[in-house]
Structures are given as structure tokens and as C-alpha cells.
Amino acid sequence: MSLGTALITGASGGIGAAYAQRLARRGYDLALVGRNRSRLNTLAAHVSDETGREVQVLAADLSDRKALAGLESFLNEDASLSMLVNSAGIGAVAPLLQSDVAKMEEMITLNVSVVIRLIYAAAPGFVARGKGTIINISSTVAIGPETLNGVYAGTKAFVLALSQSLHHELSGKGIRVQAVLPGPTLTEFWNVAGMPVHSLPSEIVMPLGEMVDAALAGLELGEFATIPSLPHIADWDAFEAARQTLLLNLSHAHPAARYRKQSDKQQLPSHDGNSGKRHQ
């Protein structure tokens, strides 16, 4: 019996390909999205032979609006769709002043705009059917943006914030939303981004299979945010509790007292009794 179809972006390799293998073993049919048709066909044949699941190959460059529109139509029309895994993305490691702004814009398109459009295409069907799962691959840089390129970190912070909003909006409609925040993972990401993975301390780099297995275990545990390296979920709960405490005081009718005191100091009269005027 099929658990429905899981559409996975970035399935040509890395995290997306690992999700494909594991979800098929769990009983999902697959729709694999990526630019490299040859790799997708090889993965599809392997997964289908191993698991007997139905696997569709949807070769597409998601930065191409026509190709993206075709994928949106697929998401709108396939009633078997039960899971969307937003794994496609590119990264950067160079500091701001050493980065090509055009490349940064391309990264924003794939890491942010494409994710938005695919969710908008899939979510209405999930809501109509009263079930569905959205898995968004973010990164630990979403909460530690100073550790890598700031634009890349900003895109992953967006994915986390969007996931939080979706979780709030859709959980009551039978939709599961999970944000996965991996640290450095042993994939081609680092070589493509310009920092060979072997240049990183080995004690912080997680094998790909272990990372995806942990992410799926977090999904089964009902976690909204899964950080595969985090030893204690209580640390995330404390982080979230602090955020919720901040929310209580982010909007008031008047500024906080410390700003009013500072403003009062700036408005004190000068010694000649002429407030704010310079001596001539």
C-alpha cells in the first residue's frame, strides 16, 4: 500500500537523493525533481528495483520560470501527492564583499522564491484532502548567520520563518510542517560553494545518511524543528520559549522606558536656558 507520492526537489544528488531512497523504503511513491536527468533516471531505476515503488522523473531547472510553472501544475493536479520535500538549494561561503551579487540573487531565487511557489502550489491540495507533509530543508546558519555567507544564511532564515508560519497556520488543518536544520553535511554542497569539505573539521561534518535518518526520525517524533546534531531537544524548546516571551513585548503603544529616558536626556536645556541651541 502506498503512502502517496512524495515530491522531492534537488533529487539529483545529496540530501534530496537520500530522502528519495528512504521515503521509498517507507512506502512512498516518488516524483524526483532535479536538473540532471541522467542522475535522476539512475536513482529512479535503483529505487524502483529495490522497493517496487512507482518513481516519476521530472527533470527541471527550477530557476527557469517555464519549468517551474510546469512543476506547479503537477503539484496542483496530482491528487496522490502527500509530501513535499523542498531540498533544492545552492549555497555560498565567501564573505559579503567577496561575493558576486548576481550569484546572490540567483541563490535567493532558488532558496526562497522557488520554495514559496512550490508550497503555494501544493498546500491547497493538502488542505482540501485534510492531510499532507511539507519538509523544508533549512540550515543551522538560520540561527547562526555569522558562521557563513550572510545572504545564504538569510535565505535559510527565511525558510525557517516561513516554516514557523506554515506550522502555525496549517497544523490545525491536518498538515505537518517540519523544518530541518542540518549543520555541515558530507555532500557536494561544499565543493560547489567553493570550500572543499575536507577543509572543515571532521568532527563537525555529519555523514549524509545519518543526517537524513535523523531528520526523518524527528518527523516521526512530531518535531517541528529538527537539528540532527542537537543533543537535547530541550535546548530548542528553551530557544523557542525565549522567542515566545519576546513576542509578548514586541508591540506596545509607547517605547520602552530606557528609550524614553535617553530621549529626555537629549532634551535637557543647555546652561544658558536655551534648550537645543548652540552658543553663538
Residue type, 269: P
Q: Is the pTM of this model over 0.75?
A: yes
Classify residue 263: in a domain, yes or no. no
Is 152 an active-site residue?
yes
Classify residue 278: in a domain, yes or no. no
Per the structure, the complete domain to which residue 223 belongs is given by 5-251
Classify residue 279: in a domain, yes or no. no
Residue ranges of alpha helices (H) inside 110-232 are: 114-129, 150-170, 189-193, 208-220
Residue found under cell 521515503: 23
Q: Which of 19, 120, 152, 259 is catalytic?
A: 152
Classify residue 218: in a domain, yes or no. yes
Distance between CA atoms of 212 and 16, rounded to whole angstroms? 9
Classify residue 258: in a domain, yes or no. no
- Tell me what pLDDT residue 223 has: 97
Classify residue 259: in a domain, yes or no. no
Classify residue 91: in a domain, yes or no. yes
**CATH number for the domain that contains residue 145:** 3.40.50.720
Give the pLDDT of the chain (280 residues) as one tens digit per residue. Answer: 889 999 999 999 999 999 999 999 999 999 999 999 999 999 999 999 999 999 999 999 999 999 999 999 999 999 999 999 999 999 888 888 899 999 999 999 999 999 999 999 999 999 999 999 999 999 999 999 998 899 999 999 999 999 999 999 999 999 999 999 999 898 877 777 677 777 778 888 999 999 999 999 999 999 999 999 999 999 999 999 999 999 999 999 999 999 988 877 777 665 655 544 544 4
Task: Enumerate the β-bridge partners of residue 85.
Answer: 8, 135
- Tell me what pLDDT residue 280 has: 44
Classify residue 210: in a domain, yes or no. yes
- Tell me what pLDDT residue 269 has: 67
| Domain count within the chain | 1
